[in-house]
Amino acid sequence: MKGWSQSDQLLARYSFCNMAKYISNREIVKLFREIVAAYEAKGENRFKIIAYENAATGVEHATSELKDLWDDGLLDTVPGLGKTIRGHLDELFKFGKVRHFERVKKALPKGMFSLLDVGGLGPKSAYKLAKELNLNNLRDLQKAAKMGKIRNIPGFGPKSESDILTAIDELKGKSSRYLLTEAFPVAQRVLKYLRGHSDCERAEPLGSLRRMLSTVGDIDIAVASKKPKEIIAHFKNFKEIKRILDAGDRKSSVLLQNGMQVDLIVQPTKAFGALLVHFTGSKAHNISLREYAIKKGMSVSDYGIKVKGKLKEFVTEEDFYKFLGLDYIVPELREDSGEIEAAYRPASGKSNGLPKVVNHKDIRGDIHLHSNYPIEPSHDLGTASFEQIIKKAKELNYEYIGFSDHSPGYSTHTNKQIIDLILKRKKKIEYLKSKYRGFGILNLLEIDILTNAKLSVPQEALKLLDGAIAGIHSSHRQGKNMITKRLLLAIDSPYVKVISHPTGRLLNQRESYEADWPEIFDACRKTKTILEINAFPTRLDLYDTLVREAIKKQVKLVINTDAHQIDHMDNMAYGIAVARRGWATSADIANTLSWTDFAKLFTS
Ligand code: DGT
Ligand code: CA
Ligand code: CA
């Protein structure tokens, strides 16, 4: 490592090995945000600041741990990380620290960085307070505010002092990012409320929510109206608001009682297209779009596209992209991962080809469904009966379903008991198959891939099924080799047709385990094993970037809800969003097939 003396290197490596500290994405984001703050406090070059802001956003949205990607030499697949920053990460993973970062931070009061989480407190204010009042942490800040010391610092007053106290209280009860499924219904309520105003011509979600990211930082909303002030005034009366953070002529930010932030922006319909593009993002997409436009002599903004100093406005996003010579890019693809190149339409009129991503209406069935059938399972039983599930599936216009209860408890049953239970369940399902002719029913089970890579059900029992869905439900922290081995052995079984929730992650709780994905994809293709996109709110895996890799390797996918109760079956849309974000077309998704063709996958 350049700039390190040999003894430094040895020492760092030694202490790093000894500590064996795993540096998580969360820590990296924090580190980058500290560098942004340090640069801002010092009044550094704007471009440097933007580079670290983009890097922090990129890591925040990454679906794998960067350390794992780094181990596999895949760091350059994370959007937003430039070469210099990747070099710093290299140093961080090798030595546990980055000399450049230490230098940047050293010149500033140490305490300022812990103050940055306080809403409304920017780097310059944090710097000033930490320095003037000699603050080391949040508790010092709270104490200083309570003692009335902050109002005496130039630039602060009694109002900012009480705002700081409120913000510290809010910080204590706040989670960092929300599940898409938590934010989505809240956004729907805000949209409905805004659409109820007579001056609202259109109201749409923006940002990560519109791009259907699995987790979102806040809720962003756009309104098209000729009367922005009236819309802002109306917005401020939304009954779920706890506090108004900011309200201008065309923008407002509020905090809801549930802790979520909502940002609203208003613009006249005639320029609504540009607004939607700009604030849907992602930031990385916007940056690339801007660079692309500059090459064509155009400049894009949230108001429109300027050519030779003249502003052209757009009602729709379609027209905005068209003016740039691009095909329409659906929000889910706007992550700066090749979508602009793919949308480019050369003079010949033929596009390089954005995929025609899968739609909700293409889905014809759901085969990961847990019923309340008393199979004495290893994990949780569902709450609905077979018949209730069939009824709901018909309401959803499905042509087929699969019953995939967990297998009988492995440690609590003998093989004979397991076989008997599965036999009994089979009889019941056979009866339903004959009762509901014309509607496809599969007799499946979700079986465990045990810690020792064996399956939780003996072969004699597997033979009684139409197929098995296998998943890892224990020992997620085994090393990469063992996890890969477990998955490969399951994939190799002729009875295993689907691998459920393939990465094992639980959003906001547990990151994905490490596995050799290229090898797993190869094995799936060879054995025709299908990988699941699990639509359950905390799972949403196989996740988008891996979906894209899997498709490149011609692996087939199935989108399932993993429902344990009837209303979970409505979560399909979230799984479809993951597929779309992974550039999947209906040809990549098995459950877009007709029942006749789908059933063949389980009889071959
Ligand atoms: P989040 O909220 O962390 O889940 O992610 P986003 O993508 O919703 O980010 P947010 O809420 O900060 O901003 C919404 C969109 O607005 C973002 O995707 C792109 C656009 N935007 C915001 N700030 C900037 C900026 O400084 N530069 C550019 N080019 N676009 C921005
Ligand atoms: Ca947002
Ligand atoms: Ca926002």
Asked if residue 1 has pLDDT above 50, the reply is no
Q: 338 vs 167, which has greater pLDDT?
A: 338
Residue 139: the pLDDT is 87
Asked if residue 17 has pLDDT above 60, the reply is no
126 Cα–ligand 2 center, Å: 24
Provide the Cα torsion 579, 581, 582, 585; round to 10°.
Answer: 60
> Per-residue confidence at 352, pLDDT binned at 50, 70, 90?
low
Cα–Cα distance list, 562 to 389, 400, 410, 585 (Å): 12, 15, 21, 22
Asked if residue 5 has pLDDT above 50, the reply is no
18-54 b/e with 16+ CB inside 10 Å = b? eeeeebebeebbebbbbbbbbbbbeeeeeeebebbbb
Asked if residue 512 has pLDDT above 60, the reply is yes
Asked if residue 348 has pLDDT above 80, the reply is no
For the chain, percent helix, then strand, then coil, each to nearest 5?
Answer: 50, 15, 35
Q: Which residues surround ligand 2, an ion (CB under 5 A)?
A: 207-208, 217-218, 220
Which residues, 6 or more positions from 11, have their beta carbon under 8 angstroms from its beta carbon? Answer: none
Percent of the chain with pLDDT over 70: 95
Any ligand 1 atom below 6 A from CB of 288 = no
222 Cα–ligand 1 center, Å: 13
Distance from C-alpha of 591 to C-alpha of 535, rounded to nearest angstrom:
13
Any ligand 1 atom below 6 A from CB of 207 = yes
> Per-residue confidence at 12, pLDDT binned at 50, 70, 90?
very low
Q: Where are the alpha helices (DSSP H) in 62-149?
A: 66-71, 83-95, 99-106, 123-133, 138-146
> Per-residue confidence at 259, pLDDT binned at 50, 70, 90?
confident
| Ligand located closest to 264 CA | 3
- Tell me the per-residue pLDDT of 152-173, one tens digit each, with 9 for 90 and over: 999 999 888 988 988 887 777 6
Question: Exposed/middle/buried for 139, CB within 10 Å: 0-12, 13-18, 19+?
Answer: exposed
- Tell me the per-residue pLDDT of 564-583, one tens digit each, with 9 for 90 and over: 999 999 999 999 999 999 99
Ligand 1 atom having least distance to the Cα of 207: 8
Distance from C-alpha of 182 to C-alpha of 313, rounded to nearest angstrom:
35
Ligand 1: residue whose CA is nearest its atom 5? 208
Residue 351: the pLDDT is 59
Q: 6 vs 351, which has greater pLDDT?
A: 351
Any ligand 1 atom below 6 A from CB of 208 = yes
Question: Which amino acid appears at position 438 of this protein?
Answer: G
Residues of the chain with CATH 3.20.20.140: 361-402+414-600
For 501, the token pair is: 């929730």
Any ligand 1 atom below 6 A from CB of 564 = no
522 Cα–ligand 1 center, Å: 37
Residues of the chain with CATH 1.10.150.20: 111-172
Residues of the chain with CATH 1.10.150.110: 6-105
Other CB atoms closer than 10 Å to residue 374's CB: what's the count? Answer: 11
3-class secondary structure, 479: coil
Ligand 1 atom having least distance to the Cα of 216: 4
> Per-residue confidence at 509, pLDDT binned at 50, 70, 90?
confident
Asked if residue 92 has pLDDT above 50, the reply is yes
532 Cα–ligand 1 center, Å: 30
* DSSP 8-state class, residue 514: P
For 96, the token pair is: 């546990």
Ligand 1: residue whose CA is nearest its atom 28? 283
Bond preceding residue 275 cis, omega within 30 of 0: no
Any ligand 1 atom below 6 A from CB of 217 = yes
| Ligand located closest to 215 CA | 1
Residue 27: the pLDDT is 87
> Per-residue confidence at 495, pLDDT binned at 50, 70, 90?
very high
Distance from C-alpha of 25 to C-alpha of 61, rounded to nearest angstrom:
9
Chosen CATH of 6-105 out of 1.10.443.10, 1.10.150.110, 3.40.50.970, 3.40.50.300: 1.10.150.110
Our mutation pick for probing the ligand 1 site, out of 181, 186, 286, counting the most ligand atoms within 8 A of Cβ, is 286
176 Cα–ligand 3 center, Å: 13
Beginning with the edge strand found earlier in the chain, give each strand of the sheet holding 251-256 in spatial order: 202-205, 219-224, 261-267, 251-256, 241-247
41 Cα–ligand 1 center, Å: 22
Ligand 1: residue whose CA is nearest its atom 19? 281
Ligand 1 atom having least distance to the Cα of 263: 11
Which residues, 6 or more positions from 567, have their beta carbon under 8 angstroms from its beta carbon? Answer: none
Question: Exposed/middle/buried for 438, CB within 10 Å: 0-12, 13-18, 19+?
Answer: exposed
182 Cα–ligand 1 center, Å: 19
Architecture of domain 111-172: Orthogonal Bundle (1.10)
Distance from C-alpha of 604 to C-alpha of 591, rounded to nearest angstrom:
16
- Tell me the per-residue pLDDT of 400-433, one tens digit each, with 9 for 90 and over: 999 999 999 888 899 999 999 999 999 999 999 9
For 10, the token pair is: 């040895």
Ligand 1: residue whose CA is nearest its atom 20? 279
Any ligand 1 atom below 6 A from CB of 53 = no
Any ligand 1 atom below 6 A from CB of 331 = no
| Ligand located closest to 59 CA | 1
- Tell me the per-residue pLDDT of 299-328, one tens digit each, with 9 for 90 and over: 999 999 999 999 999 999 999 999 999 999
Averaged pLDDT score across all residues of the chain: 91
Ligand 1: residue whose CA is nearest its atom 9? 207
Our mutation pick for probing the ligand 1 site, out of 283, 300, 301, counting the most ligand atoms within 8 A of Cβ, is 283
Our mutation pick for probing the ligand 1 site, out of 262, 279, 333, counting the most ligand atoms within 8 A of Cβ, is 279
Asked if residue 467 has pLDDT above 50, the reply is yes
For 361-402+414-600, give the CATH class: alpha beta
Bond preceding residue 175 cis, omega within 30 of 0: no
Residue 322: the pLDDT is 96
Any ligand 1 atom below 6 A from CB of 285 = no
Asked if residue 6 has pLDDT above 50, the reply is no
For 477, the token pair is: 């922290």
Any ligand 1 atom below 6 A from CB of 218 = yes
Ligand 1: residue whose CA is nearest its atom 17? 281
Distance from C-alpha of 248 to C-alpha of 353, rounded to nearest angstrom:
41
Asked if residue 329 has pLDDT above 90, the reply is yes
What is 178-267's CATH topology?
Beta Polymerase; domain 2 (3.30.460)
Name the least confident of 270-284, 345-359, 390-404. 345-359
pTM of the prediction? Answer: 0.77
Beta strands 241-247 and 251-256: pairing type?
antiparallel
Asked if residue 37 has pLDDT above 70, the reply is yes
Q: 136 vs 13, which has greater pLDDT?
A: 136
Residue 193: the pLDDT is 98
Look at residues 37, 203, 8 and name the one whose alpha carbon lies nearest to residue 107.
37
Ligand 1 atom having least distance to the Cα of 215: 4
136 Cα–ligand 1 center, Å: 31
Distance from C-alpha of 502 to C-alpha of 484, rounded to nearest angstrom:
11
Q: Which helix (H) or strand (E) holds 311?
A: strand 310-312
What is 271-343's CATH topology?
Beta Polymerase; domain 3 (3.30.210)
> Per-residue confidence at 387, pLDDT binned at 50, 70, 90?
very high
Distance from C-alpha of 189 to C-alpha of 560, rounded to nearest angstrom:
27
Report CA Rg, the chain: 27
Any ligand 1 atom below 6 A from CB of 541 = no
